[in-house]
Structures are given as C-alpha cells and as structure tokens.
Amino acid sequence: MSTKSHVGMEQKVCPVCGQAFDTGTILLDKRLRNSLDRHTVTGWDLCPEHAALWKKGYIALVECDPQKSTFTGGTIRPENAYRTGRVAHIRTAAAARIFNIALTGPVAFVEPGVVEMLGQLQPEGEHES
C-alpha cells in the first residue's frame, strides 16, 4: 500500500540544528495525484527556537568541517555543510566587530575552532549555547 497522498503537512529543516519541524501549512496536489508524503520537507527555515534568537538580535555560528563540506564559488549552502555539532549565538553587532565581513543573515557557517575561540573571549557564565 502506498503511503503517498494528495494532501501532506509541510515541514522545513532548520539550517542551525538540522531538525525538521512542522510549519502548520497543509500542502495539496492540485491534480489530486498521490505525490505527497504525510510530512513533506519543502526547504530551509529557522525552527521556532532559533527564529526567536534571530529576532532578539543573535546570529547563529554553525561550525562545519571544510574537508567534508562542499563549497560553490567560495560559499556553502546548508545542504552541503557538514556540521560538527558546535553552535554559538552571538549578537549581530558583536559579529560585525569581530569578523571582517558583514554577516547579514541569521546563520553563518564557520571553520572548526571559531566557536571555541569565541567561548574563550566571553566571560565565564555568559555563554549562550
């Protein structure tokens, strides 16, 4: 028996934590073909937890292994990032002072060691993640 249907629940994947989450949107195949899974992933978006941090002025620094990630034109897409599991959230204003480039989005992929280095700069007891 096929598990496909003409109706499905939309899910997005968080580029920070990599977890799929329900968006609350119902998907409908307009031709009424059984083409949708019960939970259908349609792209990338921040999960509620990381979206709340972004709204508070934090940017997520996601550590990735450059040897296992795929770069296109010097940049990396979320689906091509091999995450190490280390994440730091820092204020956008602080990121502008620390890094030589403008970080305009809610997520930046960084090399191994950056998250640890930032943890050493911050006074004890003030770590976000």
What are the strands, taking DSSP E only, across the chain? 7-13, 20-28, 39-44, 58-64, 71-72, 75-76, 83-91, 107-110
Q: Please give the helix or strand (H or E) that residue 48 lies within, else none.
A: helix 48-55
Domain positions in the chain are: 7-45, 49-121
Instruction: Pull the structure tokens for residue 92.
Output: 């956008």
Q: What is the pTM of this model?
A: 0.80
Please list the pLDDT of the chain residue by residue as tens digits (129 residues): 568 888 999 999 999 999 999 999 999 988 888 888 899 999 999 999 999 999 999 999 999 999 999 998 888 899 999 999 999 999 988 888 888 787 889 999 999 998 888 888 766 555 554
C-alpha 116/C-alpha 12 separation (Å) is: 29
94-107 residue pLDDT tens: 888 888 787 889 99
Phi, psi of 41 (to 5 degrees): -80, 125
